[in-house]
Amino acid sequence: MKASVFRHPVVTFCVVVLIHMGSSPIAAQSLVPPSGIRRGEPAFMVFDPGRAGHLPERYTLLLRFADGSTSPTYHGFAPPSGQDGTTKVASAIDPSGRVILFLVSAPVNAALGEAVATVKSPGGDTLAIAVFAVEDRQYLHEDLWLDAALSSLRADPDPLKTAQALEYLALLESVNPSAAYLDGAFVRPVATERRTSLFATTRRYRYANGGVSITTHQGIDYGCPIGTPVVAAGTGRVAMAADRIVSGKTVILEHLPGTYTIYMHLDTMNVTPGDYVRRGAKIGTVGKTGLATGPHLHWELRVMGVASDPEALIGLDKMPSIRTIHPAIEGR
């Protein structure tokens, strides 16, 4: 049975964008970041364009970290609108509801210390600059032992595997500036808190022939029985629903410009590319397809191609109350 899908997403919630920032209005063309973003975690930034009348997606934002490295270019999006077409925004930044939002991410290896966010106009002019701190976060290490079949699946060359990997990366780095479907906080995609591997864990693969390779785990694994329902973490469009060599049956949802969640190793898929699904809609069931040592869901968040902890977007009171993002869960 297919998931309940909708062809014309309509968003109906109220956004509160200013919390713990005082009550004084902020000057036109101002950018408000959180005071700090931990490595590997996402964050919303709020921009007031003043009297400018450009479409939100035509504004861009760039992060520059303490070591001089820069982020991908992020595209703005408007706060979700109500059924009457009006923007439901309560904000001391802009009572008229003109604010533009950006969802950004600090890579797991981002340089610690002061970072700078810069918003530019469609013509490339600098409109606003804000400073925030990149904060540290500790990650775990683990060994994963693979039998001969899984060792071959991961390590042996395969032209189809390479082609699938290139297609996957190209999708996650693609941006549809008008894609703004997310209408609230993420929900956990499975009804469990049993995590068998955490985000950004340093993973050492131990192959059957004695070989070793080291990677960073780019998502969260939830250990569940085969057949456990998997739901959409947030409202979005199905960008991929495919049976792949390494990740098995895989669904990718697009939520915002350049923002995707990924659901791997499924047993069944209930959606097809192009479907729109609401938060909490069933998109498949847990399995152990592809490179999996046991039944589990691998859940991932990518922001402009950068892996980010999806649990950091669970539990927002209102999206995007940028000062109420809960720190992602660690150590479980």
Q: Per-residue pLDDT tens for 178-225?
A: 899 998 889 999 999 999 999 989 999 999 999 999 998 999 999 999
Percent of the chain scoring above 70 in pLDDT: 80
Would the pLDDT of 88 be above 70?
A: no
Q: Is the dihedral of CA 14, 17, 22, 25 positive or negative?
A: negative
Tokens of 44: 């919303």
Condensed to tens digits (0 to 9), the pLDDT of residues 288-313 reads 999 999 999 999 999 999 999 999 99
Q: Is the dihedral of CA 6, 7, 8, 14 positive or negative?
A: positive
- Helix or strand or coil: residue 222? strand
Domains of the chain with bracketed CATH: 15-135 (2.60.40.1930), 141-311 (2.70.70.10)
Which residue has 């990718």 as its token pair? 252
pLDDT of residue 26: 39
Secondary element (H or E) of residue 150: helix 148-155
Count CA within 13 A, CB hemisphere, residue 326. 13
Which residue has 């991410």 as its token pair? 105
Task: Report the 10 Å Cβ neighbour count for 223.
Answer: 16
Would the pLDDT of 322 be above 80?
A: no
Would the pLDDT of 329 be above 90?
A: no
- φ/ψ of 268, rounded to 5, equals -135, 155
How many angstroms separate the CA atoms of 33 and 124, rounded?
A: 20
pLDDT of residue 97: 53
Would the pLDDT of 324 be above 70?
A: no
How many angstroms separate the CA atoms of 38 and 328, rounded?
A: 9
The DSSP bridge pattern shows strands 259-269 and 282-286 to be antiparallel
pLDDT of residue 54: 79
State mean pLDDT over 269-281: 97
pLDDT of residue 40: 96
Tokens of 174: 């693609």
Lowest mean pLDDT among 53-57, 243-247, 285-289, 323-327: 323-327
DSSP 82-122: -TTS-B-EE-SS-TTS--EEEEEE--TTPPSEEEEEEEE-T
Q: Grade residue 331 by pLDDT with cuts at 50, 70 and 90.
A: very low
